[in-house]
Amino acid sequence: MTAAAAQFARDLVLQAAAPYRQAGRYAWHFARGKLGGDPAFAALLAEGLLTGRQRIVDIGCGQGLLTAWLLAAQDASRRGRWPAQWPAAPAPAHIHGIELMQHDVDRADRALAPAVRDGRASFTAGDMCAADFGRADAVVILDVLHYVPIAAQDAVLARVRDALQPGGVLLLRIGDAGAGLPFRISNWVDFVVTTLRGHRLTKLFCRPLAQWQATLAALGFTVQAQPMSDGTPFANVMLVAHLPHAAAGKI
Ligand SMILES: C[S@@+](CC[C@H](N)C(=O)[O-])C[C@H]1O[C@@H](n2cnc3c(N)ncnc32)[C@H](O)[C@@H]1O
């Protein structure tokens, strides 16, 4: 990433986090830390992973940071501020966040109230194992599936596949259980932080990268894996999983 693009991304963190001031000091500080410290957010834009997607569903959305990020990106691009070498900014018609914890949904609703009022965003409290995903052309699941057992993960992935339009994309970030020490560090940090945030966990349900890829391929996705833990001690991988476009003559 060029120095100018890196500076743009830092400015965008401040813009995307600003609405969380209305949701309290914790929400605001958390937004700045997560958006600035997690390489996935800048990479999504720099690599155009959501460019052109109209209906995005964010499963396990937390306090709605992905929505805040995409809205800030769209706004910056409209004002003519966009790195020349990046693909076009995402301009989704609607982003729907689904989140287990009601207090996170409340923060998202409070921070992003204008977009919720305008129908550009919505947040629902619910368990991904039961929630309706609606129809989407992109589904994003960042660091969420491993909280439920493998069979439940597979059921979620099958319902994601069914919710996606032909040509749809799933962005699934996972921890690679085959990655040794960096994986054990991320797993430990995740367990402690998630317990502190009020979840009652007994264990996390992880698998090696090759198993994730095989699971998605069996569901009909074409999968590319991109390391996604730059600047962190973790073993995170972004799986970019595409469904085929509808064959000519088929609906
Ligand atoms: C590590 S956080 C990631 C948040 C967000 N995806 C991000 O990257 O900023 C995991 C989120 O998944 C949520 N979550 C865990 N189990 C869930 C479930 N069964 N259904 C919906 N959300 C869940 C947690 O409450 C938490 O907000």
Which residue CA neighbors atom 19 of ligand 1 most closely? 127
- HSE-CB for 209 with a 13 A CA cutoff: 19
Q: Above 70 in pLDDT, residue 239? A: yes
pLDDT above 70 covers a percentage of the chain that reads 96
Which element (helix H / strand E) includes 34? helix 25-37
- Residue listed under structure tokens 């368990």: 127
Q: In terms of pTM, does the model score above 0.85? A: yes
pLDDT tens column, 138-147: 999 999 999 9
Residue length of the chain? 251
Number of the ligand 1 atom closest to the C-alpha atom of 148: 19
Task: Identify whether the C-beta of residue 212 lies closer than 8 Å to the C-beta of residue 174.
Answer: yes
The pLDDT, as a whole number, for residue 233 is 65
Cα of 143 from ligand 1 centre, angstroms: 7
Cα of 129 from ligand 1 centre, angstroms: 12
- Residue listed under structure tokens 């929630």: 131
Mutation to probe ligand 1, out of 32, 144, 188, 238 (largest number of atoms < 8 A from CB)? 144
**Average pLDDT score over the chain:** 93
The pLDDT, as a whole number, for residue 131 is 98
For the chain, the first-to-last Cα distance in angstroms comes to 40
DSSP-derived letter for residue 137 is E
Number of the ligand 1 atom closest to the C-alpha atom of 104: 27
pLDDT tens column, 64-103: 999 999 999 999 999 999 999 999 999 999 999 999 999 9
Which residue CA neighbors atom 4 of ligand 1 most closely? 62
Tokens of 79: 């004002």
Q: Above 60 in pLDDT, residue 24? A: yes
The pLDDT, as a whole number, for residue 49 is 97
Select from 119, 125, 120, 118 the least CA-distant residue to 104: 125
CA distance 187 to 19: 30
Task: Identify whether the C-beta of residue 87 lies closer than 8 Å to the C-beta of residue 47.
Answer: yes
Select from 22, 243, 13, 234 the least CA-distant residue to 135: 243
Confidence of residue 243 (pLDDT cuts 50, 70, 90): very high
> Which residues form the pocket of ligand 1, taking CB atoms under 6 Å from any ligand atom?
34, 60-62, 65, 98-101, 104, 127-129, 142-144, 147-148
CA distance 49 to 44: 5
Which residue CA neighbors atom 11 of ligand 1 most closely? 60
CA distance 77 to 73: 6
